[in-house]
Amino acid sequence: MSILNPLFEAVAWVIMRIHAWLSVPFGASSGWAWGLSIVILVMLMRLVMVPLFVKQVRSQRKMQAHMPQLQELRKRYKGDKQRLNEETMKFYKENGINPLGGCLPLVAQLPVFWALFNVLRAISDWQPGTTPKYGLTIPVVQSAKDARIFGASLADKFLFPLPHQTLESRLVILAFVLVSAATTYLTMRQSQKRGMMQQGPVDPDNPAANMQKYMMYIAPFFALSGLYWQFGLVIYWVTTNVWTLGQQH
């Protein structure tokens, strides 16, 4: 038994409650009921994380307000990396800056993502005559396996497809992965443009700014890992990206 089982069971419980509510208008085995269950799960999680988002914004603003001093440190210790790191960390401590503050929302949502991955895998691996994992019930698991969202089931993958998969389901997953990559790019681009408006033109000698620029083009390729994921996880990630894009705006 994994020490993370309570988390998996909690996510499974929330999904079952949402699904039970959506089953009334759409039907238990409806793709709408299961697709919207994941979307609403993301929305509830992101609402809970609003305080972390506020901390992220405050951390970013504090970092931006002290950017001229940080740039001065980089120029002063340009040839001494060790001294630069020491002085930078000292500066962070003296001014109450948390350089990892901007990562809080991402770190917070990873456990839920991992839990959903395991819940979906439990649904996919369930065989008639066995007891489903994580507190899932047999009717719920059966309805999840029967549900089709634009022709694809929650457990379907683009790469390493399941035996029953059709070309249509793989194309649907591919389309969602491309949307995920596009929204990842737009989120990074929006963040960079906001930073340029607040800080002015990017200093070509600023490694952090240059790294952010490169990441704007590199990050969307990470979204292509969705080609390995179950379709339910791709829906989760697209919803997260769209929420982040709107929240940043």
Is 157 in the same domain as 221? yes
* Cβ atoms < 10 Å from Cβ of 92: 16
**Minimum mean pLDDT among 94-108, 153-167, 182-196: which range?**
94-108
- Taking only the tens place, the pLDDT of each residue in 211-236 is 556 666 677 777 788 888 889 889 98
- The model carries a pTM of 0.75
Is 184 in the same domain as 117? no
Is 102 in the same domain as 164? no
Is 57 in the same domain as 4? yes
- The predicted pLDDT at position 79 comes to 72
Is 60 in the same domain as 130? yes
- The predicted pLDDT at position 21 comes to 95
Mean pLDDT of the chain: 80
Is 122 in the same domain as 1? yes
Q: How far apart are CA 176 and CA 237, in angstroms?
A: 9
Domain boundary among 115, 147, 179: 147
Q: How far apart are CA 38 and CA 68, in angstroms?
A: 43
Q: Show the domain range for 203.
A: 149-249
Say which amino acid occupies 42: V
Domain boundary among 96, 124, 147: 147
Is 17 in the same domain as 53? yes
Is 114 in the same domain as 1? yes
- Taking only the tens place, the pLDDT of each residue in 106-159 is 677 788 888 888 888 888 888 888 889 899 999 999 999 889 999 898 888 898
Is 130 in the same domain as 197? no
- Taking only the tens place, the pLDDT of each residue in 23-37 is 999 999 999 999 999
- The predicted pLDDT at position 25 comes to 92
Is 180 in the same domain as 230? yes
Indicate the number of domains in the chain.
Answer: 2
Is 143 in the same domain as 153? no
* Cβ atoms < 10 Å from Cβ of 187: 23
- What residues have CB less than 8 Å from 28, skipping those under 6 apart? 19, 139, 140, 143
Domain boundary among 116, 147, 178: 147
Is 127 in the same domain as 156? no
* Cβ atoms < 10 Å from Cβ of 149: 23
Say which amino acid occupies 96: G
pLDDT of 173 > 90? The answer is yes
